[in-house]
Amino acid sequence: MPSLKDLRNRISSVKATRKITKAMQMVAAAKLRRAQEAAQAARPYAERMDAVLSNLASRTNKEGASPLLAGTGKDDVHLLVVMTAERGLCGGFNGNIAKLARADAQKLLAAGKTVKIMTVGRKGADNLRRDLNRNIVERTDFRGIKQLFYTHAESVADKLLSMFDNGDFDVATLYFSEFKSVIAQKPTALQIIPAKVAEGTGEEVKTAGGEAIYEYEPDEETILRYLLRRNIGTQIFRGLLENSASEQGARMSAMDSATRNAGDMINKLTVKYNRQRQANITKELIEIISGAEAL
């Protein structure tokens, strides 16, 4: 049976923990709002880009197209770009992304493919290092960066493209967590090289052809080539933004339940403390009374 003093110390330490988790939850909530706004603000660019790209891709002939769209013709070497957070204490967020990437990596390895991993964010590297350390070819982290700008995504995209130009891989897939809502984040794999252009482009061509036939300056192929390269950066940027919103959402709900658990624990400990105190008082009374009776 713990003494009263032990219980008192225990209660005050849990109270301190609750204060911290509560504060972290509120900070995450504020950051979440900002991250959501950023994700929303970035949407128009990505949407226009997608529209133009799928329009162009469906017009040009796939045979002679850039390898970024048509692929290299092989799928021997896979590059997994695993994007995670820089910090922990956000529930299963980092673990879920790493789990998805690991499952895919193992599937590919079992199928006899070569797997290369590029990690963006420290936590993913930490998690995958245990069993896939040999496969990690590149690590990037954005530690100490307060706000994500496109230039950050671009630096990752540049690395990716220069690797692709050197023929270091055939297929690239992004792993990040899609932000569904504050309580739901879905780890997602998105293939970016060769680019998956929106399906059902057949109809779009008709409407585009009916309403507006574009003039291209310079020619279609040049624009398409430019766009495909640009698109990598845009997709990575989108992934990073989704990720940062998801991270804050996950942290918020993780800290919310931590705060609640701390509250429950304090209640339980307080009940125990009171019972113990009462027991002590009763014991002392009995001692006094029986002492008096003996006289």
Partner 1 sequence: MADTFTFELVSPERILKSGEATEVIVPGTAGDFTVLPGHSPVLSTLRPGVMDVTLDGAKTRIYVKSGLIEVDPKRVTVLAQTAYDMAEMDASRIADELKTAQDERAAADESDDELIAHTEAAIDALTRLGGKMDR
Name the β-bridge partners of 119.
82, 139
* Interface region with partner 1, contact rule CB under 8 A, candidates 36-44, 127-135, 177-185, 265-273: 36-44
- Tell which one of 216, 270, 281, 283 touches partner 1 (CB under 8 A): 216
For residues 243 and 174, is the Cβ–Cβ distance under 8 A?
Answer: no
Among 260, 242, 258, 263, smallest CA distance to 93 is for 242
Can you state the angle between helices 4-59 and 201-211, rounded to 10 degrees?
60
Number of Cβ within a 10 Å radius of residue 207: 10
Nearby residues of 142 by Cβ (< 8 Å), 6 or more positions away? 86, 120, 121, 148, 152
Q: How far is the CB of 218 from partner 1 (least distance, A)?
A: 5
E strands of 69-210, at which residues? 77-83, 114-120, 136-140, 171-179, 185-193
Q: Is residue 49 at the binding interface for partner 1, with CB under 8 A as the rule? A: yes
SS3 call for 173: strand
Nearby residues of 173 by Cβ (< 8 Å), 6 or more positions away? 78, 79, 80, 81, 104, 189, 190, 191, 192
Closest to partner 1 by CB, 42 vs 101, is 42
- Tell which one of 17, 22, 29, 52 touches partner 1 (CB under 8 A): 52
Active-site hit among 7, 24, 79, 90: 90
For residues 180 and 158, is the Cβ–Cβ distance under 8 A?
Answer: no
Q: How many residues does the chain have?
A: 295
Closest to partner 1 by CB, 89 vs 208, is 208
Q: How far is the CB of 188 from partner 1 (least distance, A)?
A: 20
Q: How far is the CB of 216 from partner 1 (least distance, A)?
A: 5
Separation of alpha carbons 187 and 179, rounded Å = 9
E strands of 103-154, at which residues? 114-120, 136-140
- Tell which one of 3, 222, 257, 280 touches partner 1 (CB under 8 A): 222
Q: Is residue 233 at the binding interface for partner 1, with CB under 8 A as the rule? A: yes
Closest to partner 1 by CB, 50 vs 104, is 50
Q: How far is the CB of 56 from partner 1 (least distance, A)?
A: 8
Q: Is residue 42 at the binding interface for partner 1, with CB under 8 A as the rule? A: yes
Q: Is residue 14 at the binding interface for partner 1, with CB under 8 A as the rule? A: no
Pattern 148-187, binding to partner 1, x per CB under 8 A? -xx--x----------------------------------
Q: How far is the CB of 220 from partner 1 (least distance, A)?
A: 8
90 is an active site residue: yes
- Give the β-pairing of 185-193 and 114-120: unpaired
Q: Is residue 98 at the binding interface for partner 1, with CB under 8 A as the rule? A: no
* Interface region with partner 1, contact rule CB under 8 A, candidates 48-56, 78-86, 103-111, 285-293: 48-56
For partner 1 (CB under 8 A), the number of binding residues is: 28
Q: Which residues bind partner 1 (CB under 8 A)?
A: 38, 41-42, 44-46, 48-49, 52, 56, 149-150, 153, 212-218, 222-223, 226-227, 230, 233-234, 237
